[in-house]
Amino acid sequence: MVKFVFWALLAANALLFAYGRGVLGSADGELREPARLSKQLAPGKLVLLSGEQAQALADAARTENTEAAEPDSEAAPESAPVPAPAAPAAPAAPAFACLETEAYPAGDARRFETRLARLELGARQTRLAVPYQEVTSHLVYLAPNGGKEGAERRVADLRERGVSDYFIMQGDSPMRWAVSLGAFKTEASARTLVAQLAKKGVQGVRVLPRGPQSNRFAYRFRDIDGATRARIIEAGRGMEATVLHICK
């Protein structure tokens, strides 16, 4: 019995000695895992915190995350006011208040109107009748002066100057008692005779274009912009009367 107690005490002492030397490990992690701790980087910078300190740091980090997630209503700039819709631009004033063409012969006028119809100008387009004389001849004459007696005196003067081609005009017209000296198709021929008579001393000789009276047609346009003006000119392309003048 004494031997058993002796060996039990000896074994207990051996165990205490081994535990004190760290052979059997201890509650301290650094003593329990000396190989792993020796491989850690900068073990001197590790700080051991108590449970209260760790909880305080966790609460502070949670508060910062919450504040970062919430929008800062005070720092946020006020939204810019929505601009009012722009007022529609006023239509541009017409470039031309009134434009007018030369007078067209009847045939050209019909063609011009047909082309103008595509522009749909409506009341802005007006046709004007222009009296026109189609000249077919040119009369060389001495105007009436003193009635029949005056015509006879002029004829006598013509004979004295060697002029034999003449006659006294009669009929019921403003040319009654005029003295005709000849009729020519062109104005140039008529002017040539006037020059010849002047050399003979015959004064007061006139040239009168003659031919049937008719109408030609001019066109007036109001409130026309530049683009429409160009289209009007295009409609009259090839016609001499397509010359636009400013009118009132």
Tokens of 69: 């997630």
* Predicted local distance difference test score (pLDDT) of residue 30: 46
CA distances from 97 to 119, 126, 144, 231 (A): 17, 13, 47, 16
Q: Are strands 213-224 and 125-133 parallel, antiparallel or unpaired?
A: antiparallel
- Which residues have C-beta within 8 Å of that of residue 166, sequence separation ≥ 6? 155, 158, 179, 180, 181
pLDDT of residue 29: 47
For the chain (length 248 residues), average pLDDT per consecutive 10? 69 69 53 55 60 70 64 54 66 80 95 95 95 94 94 95 94 93 96 96 95 94 95 95 92
Q: Where are the alpha helices (DSSP H) in 70-146?
A: 106-116
Residue 213: is it exposed, middle or buried by C-beta count within 10 angstroms (0-12/13-18/19+)? exposed
Predicted local distance difference test score (pLDDT) of residue 81:
67
Query: Residue 59 has what pLDDT?
Result: 74
Residues 6 or more apart whose Cβ sits within 8 Å of residue 238: none
Start-to-end C-alpha separation, the chain? 151
- Alpha helices in 121-221, H assignment, sequence order: 147-160, 187-199
Contact 209, 165 (CB under 8 A): no
What are the distances in angstroms from CA 206 to CA 1, 187, 190? 183, 11, 9
Taking the model in full, what pTM does it have?
0.48
